[in-house]
């Protein structure tokens, strides 16, 4: 039997405008322990790489590039997360060429909120 204790940290960075917030996580450090044999294997696992409907995520929009889904621990009536299908190691790995991607992410989140009945003046990013 395997057990998988995990830890992660959250980084919050303000971008685009004073009301925009871009949130990313560091990879989770996961140690898999084989209880029967006493061995263990350390893995780095991104908390967002496995997001999909089949695993129980409440996906409200997706395309070939992005996934928009409901937060499992919402801080608002409608709290959505927008992620890329492409793994992004960290916010530090982004550069100026990623600005259009960030804008598409913001637009996808805004459109998804509108589809849920949240007007533009009640949205925060």
Token code pair at residue 55 = 């695993």
Residue with tokens 């450090």: 29
The pLDDT of residue 38:
56
Give the pLDDT of residue 5: 38
Residues 6+ apart with CB under 8 A from 105: 66, 82, 83, 84
End-to-end CA distance of the chain: 41
Its CATH architecture, for the domain 2-122, is: 2-Layer Sandwich (3.30)
85: tokens are 């299908």
pTM exceeds cut of 0.85: no
Q: How many residues does this entry show for the chain?
A: 125
Specify the pLDDT at position 36.
55
Domain assignments of the chain as residue spans, ordered by start: 2-122
Q: What is the mean pLDDT of the chain?
A: 74
Model pLDDT for residues 37-84, shown as the tens digit of each residue: 555 444 457 888 888 888 889 999 999 999 999 998 888 888 999 999
Q: pLDDT digits over 23-35, tens only? A: 544 444 444 455 5
């Amino acid at each position: 039997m395997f057990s998988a204790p995990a830890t992660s940290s959250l980084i919050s960075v303000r971008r685009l405008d004073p009301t925009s917030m871009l949130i990313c996580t560091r990879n989770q450090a996961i140690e898999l322990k084989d209880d029967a044999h006493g061995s263990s294997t350390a893995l780095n696992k991104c908390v967002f790489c496995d997001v999909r409907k089949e695993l129980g995520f409440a996906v409200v929009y997706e395309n070939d590039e992005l996934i928009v889904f409901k937060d499992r621990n919402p801080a608002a009536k409608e709290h959505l997360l927008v992620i890329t299908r492409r793994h992004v190691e960290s916010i530090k790995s982004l550069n100026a060429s990623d600005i259009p991607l960030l804008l598409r992410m913001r637009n996808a989140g805004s459109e998804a909120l509108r589809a849920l009945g949240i007007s533009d003046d009640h949205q925060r990013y």
